[in-house]
Structure 1
Amino acid sequence: MGQVSFWGMQHGLGVTSSTAAIAALIGMEYQIRTLISQPQWSDRTLERSFHKAINQYNRHSEHDSGSGLDALERVIKSNKMERDTVKNYTLMLERERLDLLRGTDKKEKFQFENSNEVIEVIYQRASQYYDAILLDVHSGNNSVIIDNTLGKSDLIVVCVNQNITLLEKYFDENKESWNMALNEVPHVLLINQYDPNSKYKVRNIMKKYNYKGKIITIPYNTEFKDHINDGDVKGYFSKNRNVTKHHDNYYFIKEVRRAAEMILTEIGVNTHIKSIERGAI
């Protein structure tokens, strides 16, 4: 199966919230082992999005030096890595289905950048245990870890919004804002904060730019944003995953579900076989 990297050309595009939403739904609706992680320096927003679930399943998780990228770096340097070692250093979010690997506590960016090769090994070893690895990658192109992580991915989810300036950057024939990995690695376009009533809806974007690729959307949803701020992404999906089409949150859930299914299919997961009957949890 594979490694999926969520990435944006610039900051402020909802990359972390989309990673969290899709991961939470996959953890609830698919019988596969999924790992989520945020290989970034000085950013723990993905972890904070699942704060309540972390506290529910993991005792003494706050500032736990026994888990995460830094702890695994020490294991690698001591040559003690085994098939399920990464699993043993994660925080459980959904039993047997969704784990979170904490980010770094390194104080200096150059220290984290110098861990590039170690981080690559960590995710390579994780792929021996997990069916899907979802990574919230730092936006932009100014990092060797960004370049390496995207280049080693099986799928890149390029996050944009309906801002015409940003869309022009993505569809620019010269590809000046592209990461080089996009020329080699399969990718799909994800429109965050999506407004279906905008002039720049999916159909019109595809027509304007003569785009034949795959586009998924994550609509804006106030209640979901509140749950992100409350550290309760999992709680949002637990409460809303079975809502009917007349519910205010139905459209958001439907689009996240469609995005999750497309992403898993792209990395070789048979979503029909691996799906869990709704309401079974």
Structure 2
Amino acid sequence: MSLIAVWSPLKSGSGSTMLASSLPIVLAVEYQVKVLLAHGGHAGERVEQAFTYKQESLDYMTAFQDTGMDALERLRASGRLNPENVRNYTLPLLSNRLDLLCGPKPMSADDIHAPINEGDGKQAELMTRVMESSKRSYDVTVADAGNGAPGAADGAILRAADLIVVGLNQNLHVLESELNQVRLPPEVKDKACLYIVGKYDRESHCTLQNIKRRFGIKTMVLGVPYCSGMTDAWNMRSVMSYMQRSRGGADLKRRSSLYDAVRNLADAAAEHLGLPSGGSKAGGLHALG
């Protein structure tokens, strides 16, 4: 039904990839929708680093990869790619609730010597087809579109997105350089956007309201606080279990500030996309409409 792209104009420091890995968990748990998590990078990169899942042996993967974008590319080339195929070639993270679509294996030496435009065109075409199919086979797709100038696959994600979550930080020098309509890529201009300030420090003079005013942002800006527990979870590939614990148990009384912040984003995205109600609200931490 809907595609949420998570992207940052900054080369690093926004926490957008961590956010892209945690947002679909919250959507799947709180809204009880079927969610696909994808990304525009290669196998083992970006959001894949957040999770522990069964991987094929290196020899087998080299010879023939049976899941992810490589498998879908074979289907596309043979004319057999359809919405149901996408679900069949994903890895389950939450049973019947959240699936992960792994990226393609890195280019071989032969691919590197192929014409650049040809390779980019194939990547963009495949990602466009996959995103179209995912909209028909999942309630929500969350796709990590990377940082900085988008490549071919990331550009296809941004063009197909119904909503773009733009990752920022509190470094005004960097924001002044990157966050303007002249430098924003064409795939982002005129798209519906929400803004997230990662590793947000409430004590800083660079507040959410100041960022909105300084850069003329008319839509919602949310803050996601720095969380050492999430950093550790990322390093241990245990973001799933960490987010489940951070929800606070059955009574929700021990819910972490990071979970609240991601829930705020999930609520804002769900409202924009018209998802069914997800129950009690998180409390609106750091939200500015």
Specify if TM > 0.5.
yes
The 2-side partners of 1:112 and 1:18 are apart by 29
The 2-side partners of 1:27 and 1:61 are apart by 26
State the Cα RMSD in Å: 2.5
SS at match of 1:181: coil
Residues matched between the structures, number: 266
My pick for the range that moved more, 201-210 or 211-220, is 201-210
The letter for the 1-side match of 2:100 is: L
Partner of 1:88: 88
From the superposition, tell whether residues 269 and 245 of structure 1 become closer, same or farther in structure 2 (CA, over 3 Å). closer
TM-score norm. by structure 1 comes to 0.85
The letter for the 1-side match of 2:170 is: Q
The 2-side partners of 1:221 and 1:274 are apart by 23
Partner of 1:139: 147
The 1-side partners of 2:150 and 2:213 are apart by 32
Partner of 2:284: none
Pick one of 184, 188, 192 that aligns with 2:190. 184
CA contact (8 A) 1:49 1:233 kept: yes
The 2-side partners of 1:24 and 1:99 are apart by 10
My pick for the range that moved more, 21-30 or 158-167, is 21-30
Partner of 2:20: 19
From the superposition, tell whether residues 48 and 140 of structure 1 become closer, same or farther in structure 2 (CA, over 3 Å). same
Offset of residue 41 of structure 1: 4.0
The 2-side partners of 1:142 and 1:20 are apart by 19
Partner of 1:36: 37
Listed as ranges, the matches of 1:1-281 within 5 Å are 1-12=1-12, 13-41=14-42, 44-51=45-52, 54-55=53-54, 61=56, 64=61, 65-107=65-107, 108=111, 110=116, 113=120, 114-141=122-149, 143-169=151-177, 171-172=179-180, 175-242=181-248, 250-272=256-278
Q: Which runs of 5+ in 2 are unaligned?
A: 282-289
CA contact (8 A) 1:50 1:234 kept: yes
CA contact (8 A) 1:24 1:233 kept: no
The letter for the 2-side match of 1:270 is: P
What's the CA shift string for 1:131-156, capped at 9, x where partnerless?
A: 11111112222523333321121111
SS at match of 1:180: coil
My pick for the range that moved more, 110-119 or 7-16, is 110-119
The 1-side partners of 2:57 and 2:222 are apart by 35
The letter for the 2-side match of 1:252 is: L
The letter for the 1-side match of 2:29 is: M
The letter for the 1-side match of 2:192 is: P
Offset of residue 273 of structure 1: 6.7
SS at match of 2:187: helix
The 2-side partners of 1:128 and 1:245 are apart by 33
From the superposition, tell whether residues 187 and 201 of structure 1 become closer, same or farther in structure 2 (CA, over 3 Å). same
Q: Which runs of 5+ in 1 are unaligned?
A: 276-281
Partner of 1:279: none
From the superposition, tell whether residues 208 and 185 of structure 1 become closer, same or farther in structure 2 (CA, over 3 Å). closer
The 1-side partners of 2:212 and 2:127 are apart by 36
CA contact (8 A) 1:6 1:19 kept: yes
Offset of residue 130 of structure 1: 0.4
From the superposition, tell whether residues 211 and 82 of structure 1 become closer, same or farther in structure 2 (CA, over 3 Å). closer
